[in-house]
Amino acid sequence: MKRILWGGATAASQYEGGFYDGKGMDTQDCRRWIPRLSNDTIQTRLLTEADIRNAKNSRSDDCRFPFRMGSRGYEYWESDLHYITSLGLDVYRLSISWARLFPTGFEDQPNPEGVMYYDRIIRTLAHAGIKVFITINHYAMPIAIVDKYGGWRHRDVIDLYLKMAKFVVDRWQENVDYWLPVNEINSGYFSPYNGLGIIGTIDYSYDYRSIFNGLHYQMIASALITKYGRDIGARGKFVCMVSCFDYYALHPTPEDNMKLVHDEQINQWWCADVLATGEYGYYTEKFLADHGVVLDITDKDRGILRSNTCDIVSFSYYSSSICSVDEKREQVPGNLVPTLRNASLEATEWGWQIDPMGLRITAHKVYDRYRKPIMVAENGLGARDNVDSDGRIHDNYRISYLERHMEQAELAVREGVDIEAYFVWGIIDIVSAGSCEMEKRYGVVYVDADNEGRGTYKRLPKDSFYWYRDFIASHR
């Protein structure tokens, strides 16, 4: 049986902090944590012009904006890499902060402090024999680009992205094993501010034309940096990534099952179809017409997409979803999009329904659809952790979650699915991308900080740290 590479992952905006040393303000630096809204993230992830204006007028160290502090990984990178190497990870996934390298996005030369920071991390990982997975753009872009172009709604942003991305590939091409141009690229549909840097109206509404043209420009940018990397002989493989939700029909009716097909097409497969096969799916023409979208696509675009498909298809998976034409049913939160309650599953405090077998089902669907190696780029449990009286964190609930999902990944491999790697999300505690809070923890390493930025930020291995270390060692 093929051996899965066992890894861990973080995102720059959620982990680094370090809102100094030349780093510019980015879209995530403008997101507030709003107490008691952890299950309803609309106000934290769909921002308006007023929200941006208030963020710009705030102090740089304002703790209401938790991504400016993150986990203070910019300061603690050395000790964090000690934990990562101690775990025995096969591969570590990290992302590049666009605004740390190019503070406004318009500079001709990168910020040297930012370059030095990533130099140290990437070279340390490579020296330790840990494979390096770089997410070139993960949910953050310089706010100055949003000011001028409205985010990815403008084609000119492709060139700004490519300037940054080409520098990244040029600089670290000898040490990187996997390149992901854009994180969870389909998220721009559900979360236009996070995914595309598009600001909403006062009632948090968006126009479909901006969203789907923005997604198109991102996919062109992804294909172009893939082409560039291959042209210069960069050693790493190129990956695409989408967020997957493993849809089930609520009832065994034709209507609910037809809705399942449509939900998967639009929510899950749209971008992966383009990036993995080089062509838009047959279903997109009707959807765009129904929503009044004229896609800004040229013959040159089609050639670029067709000739520069990804090597690996990756996905994030946290929970499964229920769909039905009966829209009166009770909805519960989920990753990026709400879903209907599944009475057969337990759920987290944040309402995410726990379904380990859903990961295996998703792995089969993705591999069957594209017949390329796949990766589980994110999987993990967000939960409250407490330091016990013995000075340890007994997170057996996280161990159980990970163990059951990893078992399903291994079963999928036995059944013929080509899974290259699996990543525990937020391997070190990070600020939650959905609810903007520190206390929704994912890591196997604890960070002593609360939702208001109070704490020492010292690191403490959880019980899950020792469990994962032993798990990896036993699977070599």
- pLDDT, tens digit, 9 for 90 and up, residues 428-453: 999 999 889 999 999 999 999 999 99
The catalytic residue among 16, 255, 327, 378 is 378
Predicted pLDDT at 268: 96
The alpha carbon torsion through 345, 351, 357, 359 (nearest 10 deg) reads 170
The domain limits of the chain are 5-475
Q: Which H/E stretch holds residue 239?
A: strand 237-243
pLDDT (0 to 100) of residue 60:
85
Tokens linked to 139:
């949910």
CA gap 82, 69 in Å, rounded: 21
Share of the chain above pLDDT 70, in %: 97
Once rounded to an integer, what is the mean pLDDT over residues 108-137?
98
Tokens 């066992």 identify what position?
A: 6
- Give 240-272 as a DSSP string: EEEE---EEESSSSHHHHHHHHHHIIIIIIHHH
Which of the four pLDDT bands, split at 50, 70 and 90, describes residue 425?
Answer: very high
- How high is the pLDDT of residue 257? 97
pLDDT digits (tens, 9 = 90+) for 25-65: 999 999 998 886 555 566 677 888 889 999 999 988 888 99
CB proximity list for 190: less than 8 A, separation 6 or greater: 267, 336, 337
378 is catalytic: yes
Query: SS3 of 72, please?
Result: coil
The 8-class DSSP code of residue 183 comes to T
Active site residue: 184, 264, 410, 437, which one? Answer: 184
pLDDT of residue 182: 98
**How is residue 36 written in tokens?**
């008691």
d(CA 248, CA 322): 5
d(CA 57, CA 159): 29
CATH number of this structure's domain 5-475? 3.20.20.80
The pLDDT, as a whole number, for residue 47 is 87
